[in-house]
Amino acid sequence: MDWSKAKTLLMLTFLILNVYLAIQLMDRMVEPRIVATSATGKSILKDRQIDEKKLQPVTRDIGYLTAEVDARTLAPLASSPIRDAVASVKNDVEWSVRLTKPYRLETKTMRDSASSFVQASVRYGAEYTFWKYDSKYQEMTFVQTYKGQPLYSTPQQSREDDAMIGPSLLVLQLNDAKEIVSYKQRHLNKVVRQAQDVTLLSASEAIVQLSEQGLFPASKRLTSHKLGYFCLVTEGTESVQILPPTWQIELDNEEVYFVNAIDGGVQTVERLDTVSEK
């Protein structure tokens, strides 16, 4: 086999894939955004007791990101307290690590205690930040960040068929004693910000979008909102990922929606027993 020709063919294949994905994103950008009129929008915010002045402002120079699924080792750091943990890898990208000795968390400061564990023990731990705690499944989820902004991706959708977690997530598994017994991790690398001239949806426009689609009735309350990014490609182990700027909107501490800040598309996430940043 002519390895030089094979290498050239592989590089051309990835180039074509990158161009295709970029075209797909541009198609999303030019689609009209469906939002209510200004007067109707203000009425929606008032009915939901939302003060528009207290909503997070959008950074106008923010652009979409491109990234690649990291296929390098995500085994625990050799210098970490859990260096003797048992690690395995699935599809070359998702690492499962089982601790030989459970790591006890401080129950009054679980978030800080878990964050300290991630910083000291997990590879690329400094790139992750706490996202949510699910008391039903005893899981603490951390999300990868880029320049301080979260790179959200879909959590594990099915616990029956051992589905993979999102490509930017780190999920700690706890026992009943609130000790870390294992974790799963995926990581994105080669993250690059791409320039764009599209005006993004504001937080209020994203909220109106949810309301117009019947996902945010007046009976619910906004409990948090944050601008970050969301992986458009999460199925399987595709190398190339495109991450448009996205609003994460949490309702009543139990439902999470992601609203694409470019085209207003809504990505729902499974109903959660507990979603909290405390």
Does residue 278 sit within a domain? no
Looking at the fold, whether 74 and 171 belong to one and the same domain comes out as yes
Instruction: Provide the number of structural domains found in the chain.
Output: 2
Confidence of residue 60 (pLDDT cuts 50, 70, 90): low
pLDDT at 233 (0 to 100): 59
**pLDDT tens, 24-58?**
444 444 344 444 446 788 899 999 999 988 999 88
Looking at the fold, whether 199 and 152 belong to one and the same domain comes out as no
Does residue 276 sit within a domain? no
Calpha distance 61→11 (Å, rounded): 31
Confidence of residue 3 (pLDDT cuts 50, 70, 90): low
Query: Given 135, 160, 189, which residue is the final one in a domain?
Result: 189
Looking at the fold, whether 159 and 173 belong to one and the same domain comes out as yes
Does residue 277 sit within a domain? no
Which of 19-23, 80-84, 199-203, 233-237 reaches the highest mean pLDDT? 199-203
Q: Judge contact between 184 and 165, C-beta under 8 A.
A: yes
Residue-range definition of the domain harbouring residue 7:
3-64+192-271
pLDDT at 181 (0 to 100): 97
CATH number at residue 19: 2.40.128
Looking at the fold, whether 88 and 183 belong to one and the same domain comes out as yes
| Amino acid, single-letter form, for residue 30 | V
Is it the case that residue 65 has pLDDT exceeding 80? yes
Looking at the fold, whether 200 and 128 belong to one and the same domain comes out as no
Looking at the fold, whether 54 and 98 belong to one and the same domain comes out as no
Q: What is the DSSP string of 83-141?
A: TT-EEEEETTTEEEEEEEEEEEPPGGGHHHHHHHHHHHHSTTGGGEEEEEEETTTTEEE
Is it the case that residue 236 has pLDDT exceeding 80? no
